[in-house]
Amino acid sequence: MTTARGLHAQVLETLGQQIVDGLLRPGTVVRPEAVAEEYGVSRSVVREALRVLQSLGLVEPRQRVGTLVRPASSWELLAPTVIRWRGASPAYFAQQRELLELRLGVEPVAAALAATNVGTDATDGTDRTAAVLAAATDMAAACDRDDSRAYLEADVRFHRALLAASGNAVFAHFAGTVEALLRTRTSESRDTITRWTHDAAARHVAVARAVVDGDADAASSAATALLRVTRDEFIAEAPAP
C-alpha cells in the first residue's frame, strides 16, 4: 500500500520532471483537481507537491488564475532536486557545461585554500586535507578494479572533501550541488564522458597531492586542469542544437 508520503513523492517527481522536460510549458496552469484525478490521489497530496515545486521556482500561484508553470530563468538551478531533473532531461549537456563553468570559478580557489589549511583539523578533529588524498587514492584503486560504483562514491567524497577543506562554509555548502551533478552522469551512456579512466583518476590525485603538500598554486592549477578537461569533454560530445 502506497503511503501519503510515497504518493506525494510520486506526484512531485512526475510534475517536476514534466516541467523540466518542457512537457508542461511556462504559463501552463496546473489544476490540482485535474492532477488529483489523473494520478488517483487527494488534492492535499497535490497541493503539497505544488508547494515544493514553488519553493524550487518551478511554479507560482496566481490569484484568480491558478498555479502557473514558470520559465527556467526562475528555477533554483543549484538545488540538487532540480539538477537531478535536468540531468534526466534534454538539458543534460547544457547543465553539465553550465555547472562545470561555475565549478571552474569555485573549486580551484577551494583547492588553493585547502592547501593553506594543511595540518588544520576540522571541528570534529579530522584532517580535512588527508580526506582529499584518501578519496583520490580510492578513485585510482577503484579504476584499477574496474569498479564504477566505488569510483563514483570516491569521486563524490573527493569533491566534498576538497570543498570542506577550503575552510569556507559557502564552498562546503556547494558540495551538495556538485554531488548531485556527478550523480547525473551515471544515467548517460556515452562512455567517452562518463566512463572512469586512469587519466581522470590521476588528475584527481594531482590535485590532492598538491593540497597535502601545501602548494596553493599547484593545487589551483591542477584543479583548473581537471575541470577544464571534463568541461571540454562535454562540449565535444554534446549533440548539435
Specify whether 119 is located in the same domain as 32. no
Q: Is residue 226 part of a domain?
A: yes
* Tally of domains in the chain: 2
Q: What are phi and psi of 174, to 5 degrees?
A: -70, -15
Residue 30 phi, psi dihedral angles, 5° rounding? -95, 115
Query: pLDDT at residue 195 above 60?
Result: no
CATH number at residue 180: 1.20.120.530
Residues 122 and 194 in one domain: yes
Q: What is the pLDDT of residues 103-122, one digit of tens each?
A: 999 999 999 999 998 766 65
Its domain, for residue 192, covers 91-237
Are the beta carbons of 204 and 132 closer than 8 angstroms?
no
What pLDDT digit, counting tens, does each position of 10-41 carry? 999 999 999 999 999 999 999 999 999 999 99
Query: Does the residue 40 lie in any domain?
Result: yes
Does the pLDDT value for residue 140 go beyond 70?
yes
Q: Are residues 62 and 144 in the same domain?
A: no
pLDDT band at 142 (very low <50, low <70, confident <90, very high): very high
For residue 136, pLDDT beyond 90: yes
Question: Is residue 79, in this structure, part of any structural domain at all?
Answer: no
Residues 157 and 228 in one domain: yes
Buried b (16+ CB within 10 A) or exposed e, 149-172: ebbbbbbbbbbbbbbbbbbbeebb
Q: Are residues 106 and 28 in the same domain?
A: no
Same domain, 70 and 101: no
Within this chain, do residues 43 and 108 fall inside the same structural domain, yes or no? no
Has residue 83 been placed in a domain?
Answer: no
Asked whether residue 147 falls in the same domain as residue 199, the answer is yes
pLDDT number for residue 118: 77
Residue 201 lies in a domain: yes
Check whether residue 173 and residue 107 sit in a common domain: yes
Per cent of the chain over pLDDT 70 is 90
Chosen domain end from 74, 109, 130: 74
Query: How does pLDDT run across 38-84, given as a tens digit for each residue?
Result: 999 999 999 999 999 999 999 999 988 899 999 999 999 999 999 99
